[in-house]
Amino acid sequence: DMKVTQMPRYLIKRMGENVLLECGQDMSHETMYWYRQDPGLGLQLIYISYDVDSNSEGDIPKGYRVSRKKREHFSLILDSAKTNQTSVYFCASSLGGSQNTLYFGAGTRLSVL
């Protein structure tokens, strides 16, 4: 069963705290992504990873960093979280190549107070 798993599903943090969002996939997909979704702005790409230790900035990378040490696992890190990083974060994965479909995780709702 093809699956992208995100942990945690809900998270509340205080401004200035560090945040770790984790994502796993069981499809051996080379490529993984982090998006955030905000009302009126839609889904915006934060980072893309082509494989282990091969990461590239998306459209809104400021304030975020990522880590991919295993093909099946991709982490999003917020160092010193800000209130404007309150959002729903989605992880996705796909095979390499432009034609390939992205499969999304269930999302993590992050509130930064």
**53 lies in the site for another protein, by CB under 8 A:** no
Residue 81: phi and psi, rounded to 5, are: -60, 150
Rounded CA-CA distance 15/27 in Å is 35
Other Cβ atoms within 10 Å of 35 Cβ, number: 25
Number of residues that this document lists for the chain? 113
Binding mask 74-103 for another protein (x = CB under 8 A): --------------x-x-----xxxx-xxx
Please report how close the Cβ of residue 18 comes to another protein at its closest, in angstroms.
Answer: 25
Interface with another protein by CB under 8 A: which residues? 33, 40-43, 45, 48, 50, 56, 58, 88, 90, 96-99, 101-104, 106-107
